[in-house]
Structure 1
């Protein structure tokens, strides 16, 4: 049976699926405080690195490693036997690794900066030495005018790139201007002799067919005859049906509520745009009423408003 790591008493039976680690809250708090002291010792040892180096300055690294191994062995034996750890061993385990790590960092030499051949080093007042490319030597027999420096390859290359970009920008601007220019043969305007004379119809743009606003009754009846009721994509939420003929949507048929039935419905109605029709007892009746209202709407003569000049 498992025992408490703090006091050594046998652990009681667990109350849930997770096994107990301590016999009581007091032992749990004691173990927590011990862990906090151990963490604080480690943090203090890491912060007091210069003092530790001065303290163990005369002790060789091999002797420190032997002390660390001996303290770790004693600590492992105490844990195996179910006893509490010794504070001296914990102190050694916290301080000696810090000393060894600091000695290792100081023993590793810093990598020196490598300077490539053909470069010169320059040192500023606020920074380390930096490498800069050396200026190319002038070829013998090539003189330069007084007060002027010899052009480098970078300057020549930059000037060539600027010329190419300027030529490309000019060509692009010409193409845009050619595309945006108006047609050389504009459509002739139709002159009106008098304000009282009826204006001639302007030619329709290409691809647009002139259609009257009023739909013939025969065509409207054909559309209605081919119409059918289909479920709305969100029928489970809004309980609506769509009255459509091919790709033409005539309207929507939805239930009305307010009855005494279990579902609360008391009929059906058709919705054409933002207006609702009369309440019908069946869904097909509401669809027929919606189709009749749609026919009256599309076959009605558009009204014209006369305004004075």
Structure 2
């Protein structure tokens, strides 16, 4: 039984029939000689439409009378025709390939000339002038006219001025209100929340008059005393302190790690107490 080979096409160079396909890739040439001949033809076609740097001046002189806008339009039309030919699988026209090779060189040469001309033009307007003023040096005092017979006053060096922190600059010796004379007592009295919050926002933490002995701080807002912040003891440190606690009237608060934390807890407790409704008895007293 004889198996006949079916021809898969003709050679793109010599036109002879191609042998049957033996692999996944289709053959286009019948031999290595035709393949090399096609390669040389493609190289010659690329070289014939390629403009070198030496041809830049010649092409610029050749298209000197053609406006740049017209050259750009011709380049756009030629590029569109080449793209259409490539889309349909046809060969590009040699005239369009020549335009595609020459016109960009001409436009590039004109751009370089315009840039060089712009750099060579002088700057418009006079250059700014800077005037340097030399200040006269004051004359030195005449040392010979100094009265050396006058006694020299010797002043003792002044002691460095000691700056005090804002915390200690307050007048802690001023009389502080007590629970009997404070403007607002820490008892349930249905105080408006806005007024109570304004007092809390304006509150400040100051030292008590007996701070050196008790280490007590007072939280007050104007003539209203909110409460006390006292150290909490029972720790293992040398002083025995383990934090700070707030005191609202006779009610102690929870232990806090810092003095500011105890002051915040005291302000929150005072706000809840004074804005609460008073407890009414059968006789109508609080």
TM-score, structure 1 normalization: 0.31
Q: Higher helix proportion, which one?
A: 1
Higher gyration radius (CA): 2
TM-score, structure 2 normalization: 0.33
Greater RCO structure (CA 8 Å; 6+ sep): 2
